[in-house]
Amino acid sequence: MRIRNTEVRLQVIFNYTILFLACTTILTIAIINFMEEIAPMVFHIHTQAQVGCNGHVELCDRKYSNITQIATHDSAFVGILPTDDQEVDVTAQLDAGVRFLQAQTHRNIFETLSLCHTSCFLKDAGTVESYLQVVKRWLDDHPKEVITLLLTNGDNVRVSEFDEVFSASGIQPYAYIPGPSHDPAVLDSWPTLGELIENGTRLVAFLDYGAMDTVPYILPEFLYFWETPFDMTDPSFPQCIIDRPPSLAETPALAYQRMYIINHYLDTEMLGMDVPDRRDAQKTNAATGSESIGAQVDLCQQEHGRAPKGILVDFFDKGDVFEVQDALNGF
């Protein structure tokens, strides 16, 4: 009888233990689900409390064209391979303070518009649509921020296909469309950062080749910008000439009313190919010094009389890129 009573007690203890573990598991799952539901709401409340424009009250009344931004060159190519130009993903880039993203586009083997490094066989970082969805989610969560996006069109894809991808990603309503009073030949015709935020047009999108009036929110880069030479292998970046568009290089006086982009990313040779120079990124992205961002910016300001709109860099998290940006914006 005692043995039986002991067995019954053990069975009861076992049953209660199983019940306790089951309840604990259910409660844990419920807490996790609750946190997953409430966290976005808390984060949203936090972002709504943001002040200023792109992190600075002073920028709210400043023209978009009169604000310098560090830009991540090939922002989608993330990793440790020779085909990679950045070390953290796009969300981390934006979280760190980048507000100008550049990315290469090509068709992959399935004819899908993708983010590919020269060729999709060499590097395919995913579809343009998925990339834009990431940017869109970040804009959703950061209502006081304006992002510049520059896409290259390596396969001469029709702008209508870019339009389809922008629409499918959900980001298109954020895109700025120049109004009748916006003259590409007049820098001051750009709205202020505050106006872009107030109007909900917090994405300014450019395409290097193939943009047309039929898709008014995808702006033709070289109607608004000129660029310095790219794929440089000389670490001193000894010049600040107008490289693209070639027509503007022949009439430099017209360049004064366009924004410009400094290509300050260094390549090095590997097996007969130029690849991003990761080893010297700390020096290349320094604020001061003979091979620094600051040195090339000084050269460009001396030659062209004003600061750049964008400074394209590789491995933005190396060096002092935001120190340069803040100094040029007066902070």
The Cα 143–Cα 126 span in angstroms is 26
List the beta bridge partners of residue 119.
Answer: 117
Are 100 and 69 contacting, i.e. CB atoms less than 8 angstroms apart? yes
The Cα 228–Cα 301 span in angstroms is 13
DSSP per-residue string spanning 21-41: HHHHHHHHHHHHHHHHHHHHH
Annotated active-site residue in 46, 56, 73, 106: 73
The Cα 254–Cα 242 span in angstroms is 11
The Cα 141–Cα 118 span in angstroms is 32
The H-assigned helical ranges of the chain are 2-48, 90-96, 128-141, 159-169, 193-198, 221-224, 246-250, 281-284, 293-304, 321-328
Tally the residues of the chain: 331
The Cα 152–Cα 149 span in angstroms is 10
Is 56 considered catalytic here?
no
Annotated active-site residue in 106, 117, 142, 264: 117
Strand duo 113-117 + 119-127: pairing: antiparallel
The Cα 232–Cα 239 span in angstroms is 10
Strands of 201-283 (E only): list them: 203-207, 218-220, 225-227, 259-263, 267-270, 273-276
Is 73 considered catalytic here?
yes
The Cα 71–Cα 76 span in angstroms is 12
The Cα 302–Cα 243 span in angstroms is 17
- For 11, 18, 19, 26, 216, the CA distances from 14, given in Å and listed in that order, are 5, 6, 9, 18, 70
Active site residues: 73, 117
